[in-house]
Amino acid sequence: MMRPLRLDNPSLRPRPSRPGPMRPLPAGALARGTRAVGRAAYGLALLASGMLAAGPAHAQSRNPTIIRDAEIESLMRDYTRPIFKAAGLSQQNIQVVLIGDNAFNAFVADGKRIFINTGALKQSKTPNEVIGVLAHETGHIAGGHLARMRQQLETAQTAAIVAMLLAAGGVAAGAATGTNMGGAAAGAMMMPQDMMRRTLLAYQRGEEMAADRSAITYLNATKQSAAGMLTTFERFQNEQMFISQRIDPYVLSHPMASERIALLTDLAHKSPYFNAKDPAALQARHDMMRAKLVGYTQTPDSVNRVYPPSDNSLPARYARAISAYRFGSIPGAVRQIDALIATEPGNPYFHEIKGQALLEAGRAREAVPPLRQAVRLSKGNPLIRMLLGQALVATDDKSVMDEAVRELTFSLQREPDSPAGWRYLAMAYGDKGDIPNADLASAQSAFVGGDFKLARELASRARTGFKLGSPGWLKADDIVNFKPPVDSRQKRRP
């Protein structure tokens, strides 16, 4: 379920509006969006910023693009499951979130999510490299580093305020006496802030080293090699070489890569599992993931450079088939996808990509059978079921709207934060003539999308169509009475 949002195909154009639900702009197979990830973050990013807790360079400078894909997310769960168990986090429901960014980066911004760039996945040649990165981020979560950093920030802020007030007192004294004490104190006002910043950055560097050591512990506990971690830090070291002479290491939030390699090399080589290799089946899935990302994120010329026509491996054919449906003719792309299915008929993601290609070409009715097969083979993956629901809605066939409601309702129970999913559900209810539920689904779409005003208006309209106290009425009433949080920056000062 990966593709950029676009409205250039018949199946992706909004249908004419009509009374009832808010009309959606269909999203197709890829679910992409933006989500705030918080300002303080720990991770593997190479930071040269002098600002404290600026977060990973590529993830914090703008709202990130969140990528949703059933195949890649399934692989990430298999990578993290043993690591989370070794860290005692199996019951925490931690998710790996994919960021659409080509930089090699990963970070945590809360205790429930690990963010990893698609660039890190594409650049990692083995599963072990990615697993090492995820083990490091798991170390931050298990160590409670984010909570402790918040405490350090609060302490530093208090200390900085006191120091600035004392220095300000010196300014006043200098002005009153006519001495140069005021100028000296004004300079002193800046010194506590710099000292606090350096102290906190030193603290964060210590936590990074602690996460590295924890990662080694988890890898040993799961009988996996730490060689992939060393490969990652060697990559960072090469990137840092050209700036290492110009950077003050004490204004970095992360240790220099050379320091980390020095620490990890000894620990990694002491492990009895240093020479352990990734299982062949896992390596094959990793190769397919990388091919999928290349096919979706690069131009046809770039795809052909990475996977030339002479390469007949399954990953190469996968990447070229995806590129063909995105940039070439749909019949030619479908032929390539059918060849993939003939090679691995039990692969749900080949059937999914066929359905996606047909749906985006405006051939929704033809998309439904392969998507039903993908749902069956994936044992009901909610993202694929959501795509099937979208295809069913796009057929404009009222006889399949009950199925569309069923598929979308199931997927939204597991993916409730999808505005597009709620919009498709609204359309399905609208086609059934169930206007109260259509309005309610539209309200939920607006709500999870952050448009609380529109959500209240739609929920208020939906509420009039339900029996007082019924489940639908209660859901609508909750939205009507929801009080959105007030941005502290918009509060009036007394």
pLDDT digits (tens, 9 = 90+) for 156-171: 454 454 444 444 444 4
Of the chain, the percentage scoring pLDDT greater than 70 comes to 68
Asked if residue 186 has pLDDT above 90, the reply is no
**pLDDT at 143 (0 to 100):** 77
pLDDT grade for 217, boundaries at 50, 70 and 90: very high
**pLDDT at 467 (0 to 100):** 96
pLDDT grade for 366, boundaries at 50, 70 and 90: very high
For the residues 292-304, what does the mean pLDDT come to? 96
For the residues 73-102, what does the mean pLDDT come to? 95
**pLDDT at 338 (0 to 100):** 98
Q: pLDDT (tens digit, 9 = 90+) per residue, 254-293?
A: 445 566 777 788 888 889 999 999 999 999 999 999 999 9
Q: In this predicted structure, which of 130-134, 190-194, 437-441 has the lowest mean pLDDT?
A: 190-194
- Name which residue leads in pLDDT, 456 or 328: 456
Asked if residue 493 has pLDDT above 50, the reply is no
- Domain positions in the chain are 10-27+329-490, 35-296
For the residues 109-134, what does the mean pLDDT come to? 93
Asked if residue 311 has pLDDT above 70, the reply is yes
90 Rama class: left (phi>0) / alpha (psi -120 to 50) / beta:
alpha
**pLDDT at 233 (0 to 100):** 77
The CATH number of the structural domain formed by 10-27+329-490 is 1.25.40.10
- Name which residue leads in pLDDT, 312 or 177: 312
Q: pLDDT (tens digit, 9 = 90+) per residue, 380-399?
A: 999 999 999 999 999 999 99
**pLDDT at 239 (0 to 100):** 54
- Name which residue leads in pLDDT, 246 or 85: 85
**pLDDT at 165 (0 to 100):** 46
Asked if residue 251 has pLDDT above 70, the reply is no
Asked if residue 428 has pLDDT above 90, the reply is yes
Asked if residue 57 has pLDDT above 50, the reply is no
Most confident among 139-153, 227-241, 255-269, 407-421 (mean pLDDT)? 407-421
For the residues 113-128, what does the mean pLDDT come to? 94
pLDDT grade for 236, boundaries at 50, 70 and 90: low
**pLDDT at 166 (0 to 100):** 47
For the residues 144-156, what does the mean pLDDT come to? 52
- Name which residue leads in pLDDT, 132 or 192: 132
**pLDDT at 260 (0 to 100):** 73
**pLDDT at 490 (0 to 100):** 44
- Name which residue leads in pLDDT, 348 or 181: 348
pLDDT grade for 150, boundaries at 50, 70 and 90: low
**pLDDT at 491 (0 to 100):** 43
**pLDDT at 487 (0 to 100):** 54
**pLDDT at 269 (0 to 100):** 87
Asked if residue 340 has pLDDT above 90, the reply is yes
Asked if residue 155 has pLDDT above 60, the reply is no
**pLDDT at 232 (0 to 100):** 83
